[in-house]
Amino acid sequence: LKRVADKIGLNNSSHLLDVACGMGTQDSFFIKTYDCIKIDGLDLTKKHIEIAKQYNCDPRIVFTQGNACKLPFLNETFTHVIGIEGPANFNTREDFFKEAFRTLKPGGKLGLSDYLLPRKPKNWYEKLLIKNIVRLWHMPIQNVQTKEEFKETLEKIGFINVEVDVVTDSVIPGYLIENRKPEARKEIYRIRGWLWGRLSDYLDDFIDWLYQRKLVDYVLLRAEKPV
């Protein structure tokens, strides 16, 4: 969280939009760490927003249920837009980028942590594998991109000074260790139910499998809207 926030210069004059905010834990961190003027947290899942509203007590944080690809906000509203891992599942990520561009003020910054392909699949087996994992992960096939394609998409929309840093080895092993702890699994099952909890177990296994075969990258993004 802090690496993405620092990368886009989050500060005490920021009006932040946090897309796919989940239950809002990171927004409490952002408000305490950076003393933002206001944070709008947006998530598609109704239950996530209900829990976020229940536990948030800072009036500067406002949670809204909504679609990140059809943002319910006016043009040039935010100084910063941030997305932690969620954009890979947006339908599509490019549509979200367009909405982020629209709602950012001139000079505003976009920051993401996201999953990309380190390279194009080499053979039919890798293509089939990625296709099936994408389907299980509920990730639109249009979002399956390499670092170069990812950067080109942002620049095509109008973003400048696009930086995509690959941090796979310093993130994914630790993520898997934390996610597999019994207390973490118990909480996921409690919130999402047995079916989605079980699917989450499988997804972690798939991410590990892809990581071992160098078929997934974890990246940090910074991009700017021109002044």
Q: What is the pLDDT of residues 53-109, one digit of tens each?
A: 999 989 999 999 999 999 999 999 999 999 999 999 999 999 999 999 999 999 999
SS3 208: helix
* Terminal Cα distance for the chain, rounded: 26
% pLDDT > 70, the chain? 96
Whole-model pTM over 0.75: yes
pLDDT at 120: 86
**What does the pLDDT look like over 163-201, one tens digit per residue?**
999 999 999 998 888 877 888 778 777 766 766 666 777
Give the separation between CA 202 and CA 193, rounded to whole angstroms: 14
| Sign of the dihedral defined by the CA atoms of residues 145, 165, 110, 59, in that order | positive
Residues of the chain with pLDDT > 90, as a percent, come to 70
What is d(CA 179, CA 144) in angstroms, rounded to the nearest whole number?
A: 23
Cα 3 vs. chain centroid, distance in angstroms? 13
CA distances from 145 to 75, 148, 170, 202 (A): 28, 8, 21, 22
Looking at residue 194, its pLDDT comes to 67
**Per-residue pLDDT averaged across 122-133, rounded?**
84
Contacts (Cβ under 8 Å, ≥6 apart) of 180: 204
**6 closest CA partner among 32, 30, 40:** 30
Q: Identify the pLDDT of residue 197.
A: 66
